[in-house]
A = this chain, B = another copy of it.
Amino acid sequence: MSTYQLYGFAQSGHSYKVALMLELLGLDWQVVKVDFFKGETRSDEYRNNVNEMGEVPVLVENGEKMTQSGVILDYLADKYGQFGGETAAEKRDIWRWVLYDNHKISSQIGPLRFMVGIKKMDENDVTKYLRGRITDALGVMNKHLDGQDYFVANRPTIADFTLCSYLFFADEFGYDWADYPHVDRWLNNIKALKGWQHPYDLLPKLEA
Protein backbone atom coordinates (compact mmCIF):
# COMPACT_ATOMS: atom_id res chain seq x y z
CA MET A 1 0.00 0.00 0.00
CA SER A 2 1.21 3.53 -0.75
CA THR A 3 2.20 5.92 2.06
CA TYR A 4 -0.83 8.09 1.30
CA GLN A 5 -4.32 7.34 0.04
CA LEU A 6 -6.25 10.26 -1.44
CA TYR A 7 -10.03 10.14 -1.78
CA GLY A 8 -10.92 12.22 -4.82
CA PHE A 9 -11.60 12.49 -8.55
CA ALA A 10 -10.27 14.55 -11.45
CA GLN A 11 -13.11 17.05 -11.84
CA SER A 12 -12.65 18.15 -8.21
CA GLY A 13 -10.30 21.11 -8.03
CA HIS A 14 -10.14 20.57 -4.29
CA SER A 15 -8.79 17.02 -4.78
CA TYR A 16 -6.30 18.40 -7.31
CA LYS A 17 -4.81 20.83 -4.76
CA VAL A 18 -3.66 17.88 -2.65
CA ALA A 19 -2.75 15.61 -5.59
CA LEU A 20 -0.53 18.35 -7.03
CA MET A 21 1.20 18.86 -3.67
CA LEU A 22 1.83 15.11 -3.25
CA GLU A 23 3.27 15.00 -6.76
CA LEU A 24 5.48 18.10 -6.33
CA LEU A 25 6.81 16.59 -3.10
CA GLY A 26 7.53 13.32 -4.93
CA LEU A 27 5.55 11.26 -2.42
CA ASP A 28 4.17 7.75 -2.81
CA TRP A 29 0.37 8.00 -3.07
CA GLN A 30 -2.62 6.34 -4.64
CA VAL A 31 -6.17 7.43 -5.41
CA VAL A 32 -9.37 6.13 -3.83
CA LYS A 33 -11.90 7.10 -6.50
CA VAL A 34 -15.05 8.74 -5.15
CA ASP A 35 -18.06 8.74 -7.47
CA PHE A 36 -19.41 12.17 -6.70
CA PHE A 37 -21.83 12.15 -9.64
CA LYS A 38 -23.51 8.99 -8.37
CA GLY A 39 -24.01 10.64 -4.97
CA GLU A 40 -21.27 8.85 -3.04
CA THR A 41 -20.31 11.90 -0.94
CA ARG A 42 -23.97 12.41 0.01
CA SER A 43 -24.42 8.86 1.30
CA ASP A 44 -24.66 8.01 5.01
CA GLU A 45 -21.91 5.46 4.43
CA TYR A 46 -19.50 8.19 3.26
CA ARG A 47 -20.54 10.75 5.86
CA ASN A 48 -20.36 8.30 8.76
CA ASN A 49 -17.12 6.56 7.75
CA VAL A 50 -15.07 8.85 5.52
CA ASN A 51 -15.92 12.55 5.95
CA GLU A 52 -18.81 13.99 7.95
CA MET A 53 -18.58 17.13 5.78
CA GLY A 54 -19.53 15.09 2.71
CA GLU A 55 -16.57 16.33 0.70
CA VAL A 56 -13.41 15.32 -1.07
CA PRO A 57 -10.44 15.36 -0.67
CA VAL A 58 -9.66 13.11 2.27
CA LEU A 59 -6.03 12.15 2.85
CA VAL A 60 -5.28 8.92 4.71
CA GLU A 61 -1.92 8.32 6.39
CA ASN A 62 -1.41 5.23 8.55
CA GLY A 63 -5.18 4.76 8.62
CA GLU A 64 -5.82 8.26 9.94
CA LYS A 65 -8.06 10.53 7.89
CA MET A 66 -7.50 14.24 7.35
CA THR A 67 -10.02 16.54 5.64
CA GLN A 68 -10.14 20.05 4.12
CA SER A 69 -7.51 20.71 1.45
CA GLY A 70 -6.11 23.77 3.28
CA VAL A 71 -5.43 21.72 6.42
CA ILE A 72 -3.87 18.90 4.40
CA LEU A 73 -1.62 21.26 2.42
CA ASP A 74 -0.46 22.98 5.62
CA TYR A 75 0.22 19.60 7.27
CA LEU A 76 2.30 18.36 4.32
CA ALA A 77 4.21 21.67 4.01
CA ASP A 78 5.15 21.48 7.69
CA LYS A 79 6.00 17.79 7.60
CA TYR A 80 8.23 17.95 4.51
CA GLY A 81 9.55 21.50 4.98
CA GLN A 82 8.59 22.58 1.47
CA PHE A 83 6.12 25.07 -0.01
CA GLY A 84 5.22 26.50 3.42
CA GLY A 85 6.00 29.79 5.19
CA GLU A 86 9.41 30.31 6.78
CA THR A 87 8.27 32.87 9.36
CA ALA A 88 5.08 33.42 11.37
CA ALA A 89 4.25 36.37 9.10
CA GLU A 90 4.68 34.26 5.96
CA LYS A 91 2.52 31.50 7.44
CA ARG A 92 -0.24 34.05 8.14
CA ASP A 93 0.11 35.43 4.62
CA ILE A 94 -0.32 31.91 3.21
CA TRP A 95 -3.43 31.21 5.32
CA ARG A 96 -4.85 34.57 4.24
CA TRP A 97 -4.83 33.38 0.62
CA VAL A 98 -6.00 29.86 1.47
CA LEU A 99 -9.04 31.45 3.13
CA TYR A 100 -9.56 33.88 0.24
CA ASP A 101 -9.52 30.91 -2.10
CA ASN A 102 -12.07 28.95 -0.05
CA HIS A 103 -14.34 31.96 0.30
CA LYS A 104 -14.07 33.79 -3.00
CA ILE A 105 -12.47 31.55 -5.62
CA SER A 106 -12.94 27.77 -5.33
CA SER A 107 -16.34 27.97 -3.61
CA GLN A 108 -17.67 30.10 -6.48
CA ILE A 109 -15.86 28.59 -9.48
CA GLY A 110 -16.64 25.01 -8.42
CA PRO A 111 -20.43 25.42 -8.75
CA LEU A 112 -20.16 27.56 -11.93
CA ARG A 113 -17.99 24.95 -13.60
CA PHE A 114 -20.37 22.20 -12.46
CA MET A 115 -23.33 24.03 -14.03
CA VAL A 116 -21.91 25.21 -17.35
CA GLY A 117 -18.95 22.87 -17.86
CA ILE A 118 -20.33 19.55 -16.62
CA LYS A 119 -24.13 19.80 -16.64
CA LYS A 120 -23.99 22.01 -19.79
CA MET A 121 -26.66 24.38 -18.48
CA ASP A 122 -27.37 27.60 -20.34
CA GLU A 123 -26.33 30.82 -18.65
CA ASN A 124 -28.93 31.85 -16.07
CA ASP A 125 -29.31 34.12 -13.05
CA VAL A 126 -27.24 31.83 -10.84
CA THR A 127 -24.33 31.55 -13.30
CA LYS A 128 -24.43 35.35 -13.71
CA TYR A 129 -24.32 35.79 -9.94
CA LEU A 130 -21.34 33.43 -9.68
CA ARG A 131 -19.52 35.12 -12.59
CA GLY A 132 -19.91 38.51 -10.90
CA ARG A 133 -18.22 37.26 -7.76
CA ILE A 134 -15.53 35.34 -9.64
CA THR A 135 -14.66 38.28 -11.91
CA ASP A 136 -14.13 40.53 -8.87
CA ALA A 137 -11.97 37.95 -7.12
CA LEU A 138 -9.84 37.26 -10.19
CA GLY A 139 -9.26 41.01 -10.44
CA VAL A 140 -7.87 40.98 -6.89
CA MET A 141 -5.60 38.05 -7.78
CA ASN A 142 -4.40 39.67 -11.01
CA LYS A 143 -3.53 42.92 -9.25
CA HIS A 144 -1.67 41.12 -6.45
CA LEU A 145 0.46 39.24 -9.00
CA ASP A 146 1.56 42.43 -10.79
CA GLY A 147 5.34 42.32 -10.38
CA GLN A 148 5.30 38.99 -8.51
CA ASP A 149 5.91 35.44 -9.68
CA TYR A 150 3.93 33.79 -6.84
CA PHE A 151 1.42 34.84 -4.18
CA VAL A 152 3.59 34.76 -1.07
CA ALA A 153 7.31 35.50 -0.64
CA ASN A 154 7.80 35.32 -4.42
CA ARG A 155 8.34 31.57 -4.33
CA PRO A 156 5.88 28.70 -4.88
CA THR A 157 3.83 27.89 -1.77
CA ILE A 158 0.61 26.11 -0.91
CA ALA A 159 -1.14 29.49 -1.35
CA ASP A 160 -0.50 29.09 -5.08
CA PHE A 161 -1.60 25.45 -5.14
CA THR A 162 -4.94 26.22 -3.50
CA LEU A 163 -5.66 29.25 -5.70
CA CYS A 164 -4.70 27.68 -9.03
CA SER A 165 -6.71 24.50 -8.89
CA TYR A 166 -9.98 25.34 -10.63
CA LEU A 167 -8.21 27.77 -12.99
CA PHE A 168 -6.76 24.88 -14.97
CA PHE A 169 -10.35 24.12 -16.07
CA ALA A 170 -10.89 27.68 -17.38
CA ASP A 171 -12.06 26.55 -20.83
CA GLU A 172 -14.87 24.62 -19.11
CA PHE A 173 -16.35 27.66 -17.38
CA GLY A 174 -15.57 30.33 -19.92
CA TYR A 175 -12.73 32.53 -18.72
CA ASP A 176 -9.80 33.62 -20.85
CA TRP A 177 -6.52 34.47 -19.14
CA ALA A 178 -5.77 37.07 -21.82
CA ASP A 179 -8.01 39.29 -19.65
CA TYR A 180 -5.84 38.59 -16.59
CA PRO A 181 -2.22 38.73 -17.85
CA HIS A 182 -0.57 38.38 -14.43
CA VAL A 183 -2.76 35.37 -13.59
CA ASP A 184 -1.76 33.90 -16.96
CA ARG A 185 1.97 34.34 -16.26
CA TRP A 186 1.59 32.90 -12.75
CA LEU A 187 -0.29 29.82 -14.03
CA ASN A 188 2.58 29.24 -16.46
CA ASN A 189 5.06 29.51 -13.57
CA ILE A 190 3.12 26.77 -11.77
CA LYS A 191 2.97 24.60 -14.89
CA ALA A 192 6.77 24.88 -15.15
CA LEU A 193 7.34 23.38 -11.67
CA LYS A 194 9.04 19.98 -11.76
CA GLY A 195 6.34 17.32 -11.39
CA TRP A 196 3.39 19.51 -12.43
CA GLN A 197 0.55 17.72 -14.18
CA HIS A 198 -2.93 18.74 -15.27
CA PRO A 199 -5.77 17.45 -13.03
CA TYR A 200 -7.01 15.14 -15.80
CA ASP A 201 -3.59 13.46 -15.87
CA LEU A 202 -3.25 13.11 -12.10
CA LEU A 203 -6.66 11.83 -11.01
CA PRO A 204 -9.37 9.54 -12.43
CA LYS A 205 -11.99 11.42 -14.43
CA LEU A 206 -15.58 10.46 -13.62
CA GLU A 207 -18.42 10.11 -16.08
CA ALA A 208 -20.70 13.03 -15.33
The residues of A with any CB-CB pair to B shorter than 8 Å are 47, 52-54, 66-71, 74-75, 92, 95-96, 98-100, 102-104, 106-108, 111, 124-126, 129, 133, 136, 140, 143-144
Contact = CB atoms under 8 A, between A and B. Distances in A.
A99 B69 CA distance: 9
Given A107-B104, A140-B52, A99 B125 contact: no
A95 B124 contact: no
A19 B67 CA distance: 28
A140 B53 contact: yes
Nearest to A100: B53
A74 B92 CA distance: 9
Contacts of A47: 140, 143
A66 B143 CA distance: 19
Q: How many copies of this chain are found per oligomer?
A: 2
A71 B104 CA distance: 16
A47 to B, nearest CB: 8
Contacts of A125: 124-126
A75 B102 contact: no
A128 to B, nearest CB: 8
Given A125-B125, A125-B126, A68 B140 contact: no
7 contacts: A47-B140, A53-B100, A71-B99, A98-B99, A102-B103, A102-B107, A126-B129
A99 B68 contact: yes
A71 B52 contact: no
Given A96-B71, A99-B99, A124-B125, A144 B52 contact: yes
A100 B136 CA distance: 22
A81 to B, nearest CB: 16
